[in-house]
Amino acid sequence: MQNINAEIIAIGTELLLGELVDSNSAHIARVFRGIGINVYMMTTVGDNRERIAMAIRNGLNRADIVITTGGLGPTVDDMTRHAVADATERSLVYHPELFDQIATRFAGFRVRMTENNRQQAFLPEDAILIDNPVGTAPSFIVKNNDGTVISLPGVPREMKFLLADQVVPYLSKQFRLGTIIARVLRTAGIGESSLDDLLGTDLLNRNNPTIGLAAHSGQVDVRITAKHDSEEAALQLIAETEATVRTRIGPYVYGTGDEELADAFLQLLVQQKQNVSLIAAGIVDVIGAQLSEKMADGGPLWNSHVFPNAEELARQLGLAPDTPLRVLAENACQHYLKDDASDLAIAVVSYDDDYERIDDDAGTTVAVTNERDSASRSYGFGGRHSLARLWVTSWGLARGWRMLKSNGDGDG
């Protein structure tokens, strides 16, 4: 298996302006991972001939393959073919037969072709044509001593088809490729730095498989990535490393791949025959709503208490209206844990707005409590802010899952 490196260049000023999101690069990276090609860098560049050419030259200095998307249309700002010619020191050559194909395709689409489409029949000298049966933008491959440049359309549907139908088969013939496989372990109830410490440098510094951490709110993903000539061998490498990883962080792993925390949380509730109290004040019952989406037949395993604002919750608990959010959330958990005879309580208390506060001024607090443990966290967003709703749900379920898991493990 050869060690082949690639770089991806997404071309289009609309990407830099934030008008479009570059989904092409992510798709290409996933495809390349599947055939064992390393992607170490992605670049986005606007519709500027000199800057595109510079990005291609830089890519060829670092990688075996540079793949571009976008800039192959007929308008004056479609500069990719010119930039590839500049970067590889070639001239553009007109192909009349290619122009005839483009004209035929337009006729088949019952669309009038304008004269500016003629520029799409120009390709860098000695380029290998990639026929595009699903669009009108011809694509091409240019090989020189520095590496290979592959230029594909920016339209995702066309790009994906050509990548699978022609580019991957071409690369498989040119290089002795293997496969890169990744497996993700999903953890909750532990921070990134603590997880890093438990895993240890001997695991985190491995070259194959490699191990990386990706932190989310209340959760951290552990990605194990292996490369080998065959899928079977790569999977074996991952299995061996995963077994070692689980001996160190197993109590914090709630799932793999695309498994979601809400599913793991509900599964533990059912297995342990536990009940949870959910309290929400100044914010919709975001945790209850997510659990409801996941709940199968059999009825709810939680009691919900929703208050219009923090002041009303404070009044219900006999506390002062200006009680700090953290104190209020923690008291609410303690109160309803007893009042509902629940095994776990999660309270989310918020100012009913969407402001982003500064410094340490909390806008939303989430607290999680059982009879043995308690934890809370504050965020600087009001309850109507989308980030507050996302983060408190993730962190609250993560902490709740960990407390339930500790009950089962007996290691609270």
Per-residue H/E/C for 289-322: HHHHHHCCCCCCCEEEEEECCHHHHHHHHCCCCC
Q: Which residue has the higher pLDDT, 388 or 401?
A: 401
Report d(CA 383, CA 364) in Å as an integer.
6
State both tokens at 123.
């390709």
The Cα-based distances of 69 to 59, 138, 158, 160, 191 in angstroms read 14, 12, 10, 10, 38
Q: Is the pLDDT of residue 6 over 70?
A: yes
Is the distance from CB of 224 to CB of 240 less than 8 angstroms? no
Could you say which of 1.10.10.60, 3.90.1150.10, 3.30.70.260, 3.30.70.2860 is the CATH number of the domain covering 179-256?
Answer: 3.30.70.2860
Report d(CA 409, CA 391) in Å as an integer.
26
Exposed / middle / buried, residue 300 (Cβ in 10 Å: 0-12, 13-18, 19+): middle
Q: Is the pLDDT of residue 101 over 60?
A: yes
**Fold of the domain spanning 4-174:** Molybdenum Cofactor Biosythetic Enzyme; Chain A (3.40.980)
Is the distance from CB of 8 to CB of 43 less than 8 angstroms? yes
State both tokens at 264.
């793991």
Report d(CA 250, CA 290) in Å as an integer.
25
The Cα-based distances of 125 to 56, 84, 117, 283 in angstroms read 16, 10, 19, 63
Q: Is 151 helix (H, G, I), strand (E, B) or coil?
A: strand
Is the distance from CB of 343 to CB of 406 less than 8 angstroms? no
Q: Which residue has the higher pLDDT, 205 or 9?
A: 9
| Structural domain boundaries in the chain | 4-174, 179-256, 261-409
Report d(CA 57, CA 88) in Å as an integer.
8
Report d(CA 286, CA 397) in Å as an integer.
11
- pLDDT over 90, % of the chain: 65
Edge to edge, the sheet with strand 219-228 lists 210-216, 219-228, 179-188, 253-256
The Cα-based distances of 180 to 28, 37, 43, 111, 186 in angstroms read 13, 8, 22, 43, 20
Residue 388: how many CB atoms within 10 A of its CB?
26
Report d(CA 73, CA 85) in Å as an integer.
16
> What is the reported pLDDT for 117?
66
What string of DSSP letters covers 166-227? IIHHHHHHHS---EEEEEEEEEESS-HHHHHHHH-HHHHT-SSSEEEEEEETTEEEEEEEEE
Average pLDDT of the residues in 393-407 = 90
The 10s digit of each residue's pLDDT in 309-354 is: 999 999 999 999 999 999 999 999 999 999 999 999 999 999 987 7
Instruction: Read off the pLDDT band of 412 (50, 70, 90).
Output: very low
State both tokens at 129.
């044509």
Instruction: State the sign of the Cα–Cα–Cα–Cα dihedral 117, 121, 125, 128.
Output: positive
Task: Return all residues near 290 (Cβ < 8 A) that are at least 6 apart.
Answer: 262, 393, 397
Q: Note if the bond before 209 is cis, omega within 30 degrees.
A: yes
> What is the reported pLDDT for 361?
67
The 10s digit of each residue's pLDDT in 109-118 is: 566 666 666 7
> What is the reported pLDDT for 319?
96
**Fold of the domain spanning 261-409:** Maf protein (3.90.950)
- Of 102-106, 150-154, 226-230, 258-262, the one with minimum mean pLDDT is 102-106
The 10s digit of each residue's pLDDT in 81-98 is: 999 999 999 999 998 888
pTM greater than 0.85 (yes/no): no
Closest by CA position to 363, among listed 374, 376, 354: 354
Per DSSP, what are the bridge partners of residue 10?
A: 44, 69
How do beta strands 364-369 and 122-124 pair?
unpaired
- Of 67-71, 184-188, 189-193, 369-373, the one with minimum mean pLDDT is 189-193
Closest by CA position to 351, among listed 394, 388, 391: 388
The 10s digit of each residue's pLDDT in 167-181 is: 999 998 998 888 888
The Cα-based distances of 271 to 120, 263, 286, 294 in angstroms read 63, 12, 23, 15
Edge to edge, the sheet with strand 302-307 lists 302-307, 276-281, 344-350, 364-369, 374-379
Q: Which residue has the higher pLDDT, 120 or 55?
A: 55
Report d(CA 127, CA 131) in Å as an integer.
12
Q: Is the pLDDT of residue 299 over 70?
A: no
